Structure 1
């Protein structure tokens, strides 16, 4: 891949079509870009067949071995009849192609909508599938994909934001005062949780990465799969006030524990994981700001209001870290 201002500058329509045809497909030239920020994803028309979804991985983000582990995990889940959309084995016999310096995969086109987690039956079903997914994930660890490193990640991402001048000067004193306290309380919560088993996870299991159509449920986008605590695939499905989240969590666990035991002490990790997600999201936007898609879709990121709002959110997070963990109704 030739040097360019941005790695995706070289992903022209001709390059894209050549990549698809190098995998053994006959493209009809119809390309439709889909919403995706980290990678580039397209619907691609295929001669005498249904369109496919082509995903071109962001160069240098994952190694080939890390992407292959994602594919292996997806296929392992699919073989166990867990409803995931896994990469298709292409006509050339592989699920991971490479062309002009880009690694890519293709997927069957599927439709659906995000699950309604206000429905207790939906939460119970989600819990069942996640329990089964984690049984598969516990069979062996990832060897190449990263594990969650909450404290190291918080330190690293905060340092990146301050070192590269993203925190406005007038907010730096508040930032420099708050972040050490936040990290220390995250450390205390992690200590409260004690030893925790880690498994291979979906890693980014929010409602937008689950498709529901009629009675069919599909987990999509394992791009962020990694080694970590089971709670990571549960807490992102919770919303509302404390009472609502307790009810939702209880329902999720009832489904989950029909297939897999859950260590209740993992509840202490929810707020550190939330804090980690807030910080890594801000650092992710900062690291991707040279990608033209990011200023276009996230114009508010470069404004002072974003950073003052983030500080307020992190102060609230400090309070959440000091509060008791989420309850499981009827248990302790």
Structure 2
């Protein structure tokens, strides 16, 4: 069985092995890290099957994600929980691990809609109220060692950065890493969604949080900062709206605002390394044709320069807004 070329027959056989039958509509969904398919089952309705990328997460780590989802659902957070068969939610077929969810349909989350933004803040407050008591024993923390130092090693060893840019690129990258590492000092870490952006949120009779594949331990602000965009004043308005909902459930530590730019730098560098490590997957060159070109690395040099300036600027402050 080849994970990179899953056939409809293999997918159907894997699902049959746990008593789920594909009636119609087996369709690949837009997912890069895993292989995800939507289909209709006569007995269970519209379902989503996720086949996990080999060697990314262990079975224990995947189970922790599921257990967190079950805990969130019990606490009233709107999340999709995986199906359970014979007491299990993580299934194995040959060498592949997979899971199945009921499909969640709805409208795209509108990040510029202040009512929806406030509702997101409330749901994240509920999520973090669970997350501060839910211990991950197998999944890693959100750390500069992983997102910056390991990522830099990947870029040094594998990225096809043009020779004319390598010296300047890594000099700038090292400056960003040094500054971000010095600033990233979270006082509290809890279990997070960790990839909370608009594409992982739907609106259907309220807000739904989807795709906890990246969940790990980190500071609360990690689940908030990706909703902030535009000018500094616009970001402060968005932050104020998010926290209006969040603090109906849980107090937010304003000192974590100083972590936003280090976290942005971590995501930026880790994203470059992620594309580099996945380049041998046939889906990636087809989906990201602009990556690994001279123009791409020239642009990233500019992005790193801008991020260094952001790291050196004063952090967002709630007192300057209120």
Structure 2 equivalent of residue 85 of structure 1:
80
Structure 1 equivalent of residue 150 of structure 2:
156
Structure 2 equivalent of residue 23 of structure 1:
18
Helix, strand or coil for the counterpart of 1:299? coil
Helix, strand or coil for the counterpart of 2:23? strand
Residue 329 of structure 1: how far off its partner (Å)? 5.3
**What's the TM-score, normalizing by structure 2?**
0.95
Q: CA RMSD in A?
A: 1.6
Q: Is the aligned partner of 1:314 residue 2:304?
A: yes
Structure 2 equivalent of residue 259 of structure 1:
249
Distance in 2 (alpha carbons) for counterparts of 1:45 and 1:119: 33
Distance in 2 (alpha carbons) for counterparts of 1:45 and 1:265: 47
Post-superposition Cα deviations, 1:268-300, rounded to whole Å, max 9, x if no partner, equal 110111111111111111111111110000011
Residue 166 of structure 1: how far off its partner (Å)? 2.2
Please, which of 101, 124, 134 is the counterpart of residue 130 of structure 1? 124
Structure 2 equivalent of residue 236 of structure 1:
226
Residue 331 of structure 1: how far off its partner (Å)? 6.1
Structure 2 equivalent of residue 8 of structure 1:
4
Q: Is the aligned partner of 1:39 residue 2:34?
A: yes
Q: Given that residues 193 and 212 in structure 2 are in contact (C-alpha distance below 8 angstroms), is that contact kept between their aligned partners in structure 1? A: yes
Distance in 1 (alpha carbons) for counterparts of 2:232 and 2:140: 31
Structure 1 stretches of 4+ with a deviation exceeding 6 A read none
Residue 105 of structure 1: how far off its partner (Å)? 0.7
Q: Which structure 1 segments of 5+ residues have no match?
A: none
Distance in 2 (alpha carbons) for counterparts of 1:330 and 1:125: 24
Residue 140 of structure 1: how far off its partner (Å)? 3.0
Q: Is the aligned partner of 1:170 residue 2:164?
A: yes
Helix, strand or coil for the counterpart of 2:33? coil
Residue 116 of structure 1: how far off its partner (Å)? 1.6
Structure 1 equivalent of residue 67 of structure 2:
72
Larger mean CA deviation between 45-54 and 100-109 belongs to 45-54
Structure 1 equivalent of residue 198 of structure 2:
207
Q: Given that residues 222 and 260 in structure 2 are in contact (C-alpha distance below 8 angstroms), is that contact kept between their aligned partners in structure 1? A: yes
Distance in 2 (alpha carbons) for counterparts of 1:277 and 1:153: 7
Helix, strand or coil for the counterpart of 2:73? helix
Distance in 1 (alpha carbons) for counterparts of 2:289 and 2:196: 26
Q: Given that residues 151 and 186 in structure 1 are in contact (C-alpha distance below 8 angstroms), is that contact kept between their aligned partners in structure 2? A: no
Residue 43 of structure 1: how far off its partner (Å)? 1.1
Structure 1 equivalent of residue 51 of structure 2:
56
| CA 28–294 in structure 1, closer or farther in 2 if over 3 Å, else same | same
Q: Which structure 2 segments of 5+ residues have no match?
A: none
Q: Given that residues 142 and 217 in structure 2 are in contact (C-alpha distance below 8 angstroms), is that contact kept between their aligned partners in structure 1? A: yes
Helix, strand or coil for the counterpart of 1:41? strand
Post-superposition Cα deviations, 1:91-131, rounded to whole Å, max 9, x if no partner, equal x4321111021111111112123322222222211111101
Q: Is the aligned partner of 1:324 residue 2:314?
A: yes
